[in-house]
């Protein structure tokens, strides 16, 4: 390995660490301050210059988009195990989403206030819906689009937050309620068969 390649690898590692430090600071400040957070406050909390922050994210909107992308990635799909059927995959997806939302509901609530947050993951919803349809696990007359919308709703932060009630219900209890809702609408049978 040439010395130049070694330095480049260490440089990329440092850039990644700086990026994650900035995102962690931004998550904290968005949770604490909501709309009142600023690029300057994030840079100060992350102990980097504003220039470094702008080089990484371009703008406050770019920083919010990165936070949103990070949030979407963490809730989108549960870790893959063996090839489960559609029902098992849906239960797992709902449970994983609830656990993710429960980890930092204040952050997700604040991200919703910003235009960058859409909270949807339609590619994964569509894929799971097609898997359910292929396994003949949808209610007769339930269209792919209807099932996709239901999956989007039951895995959304908004549904979780409404049922979680500020922690008065556990994430697993919320997941159970959402799974029953999905099972009823999609005719998946008893949620724990």
> If the chain, 193 residues long, is cut into consecutive pieces of 10 residues, what is the mean pLDDT of each piece?
53 68 90 84 93 90 84 61 74 90 85 60 82 87 90 92 92 95 75 45
- Residue 26 CA to residue 53 CA, distance in Å, equals 11
Q: How many CB atoms lie within 10 A of CB 23?
A: 19
The per-residue pLDDT for 1 is: 52
Q: How far apart are CA 135 and CA 34, in angstroms?
A: 44
pTM, whole model, 2 decimals? Answer: 0.71
CA dihedral 14, 20, 24, 26 (to 10 degrees): 100
For residue 82, give the 3-state DSSP assignment: coil
Q: How far apart are CA 193 and CA 180, in angstroms?
A: 12
DSSP assignments along 117-152, one per residue:
-----HHHHHHHHHHHHHTT-S-TT--HHHHHHHHH
pLDDT of amino acid 127: 87
């Amino acid at each position: 390995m040439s010395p130049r390649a070694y330095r480049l690898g260490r440089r990329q590692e440092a850039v990644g660490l700086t990026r994650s430090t900035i995102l962690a600071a931004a998550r904290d400040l968005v949770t604490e301050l909501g709309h009142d957070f600023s690029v300057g406050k994030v840079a100060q909390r992350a102990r980097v210059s504003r220039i470094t922050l702008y080089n990484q994210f371009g703008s406050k909107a770019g920083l919010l988009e990165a936070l949103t992308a990070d949030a979407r990635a963490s809730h989108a799909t549960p870790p893959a195990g063996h090839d489960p059927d559609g029902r098992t995959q849906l239960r797992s997806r709902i449970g994983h989403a609830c656990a993710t939302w429960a980890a930092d509901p204040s952050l997700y609530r604040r991200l919703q206030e910003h235009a960058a947050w859409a909270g949807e993951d339609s590619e994964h919803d569509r894929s799971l819906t097609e898997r359910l349809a292929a396994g003949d696990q949808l209610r007769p007359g339930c269209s792919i689009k209807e099932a996709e919308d239901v999956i989007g709703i039951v895995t959304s932060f908004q549904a979780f937050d409404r049922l979680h009630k500020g922690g008065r219900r556990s994430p697993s209890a919320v997941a159970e309620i959402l799974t029953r809702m999905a099972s009823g609408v999609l005719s998946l049978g008893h949620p724990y068969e």
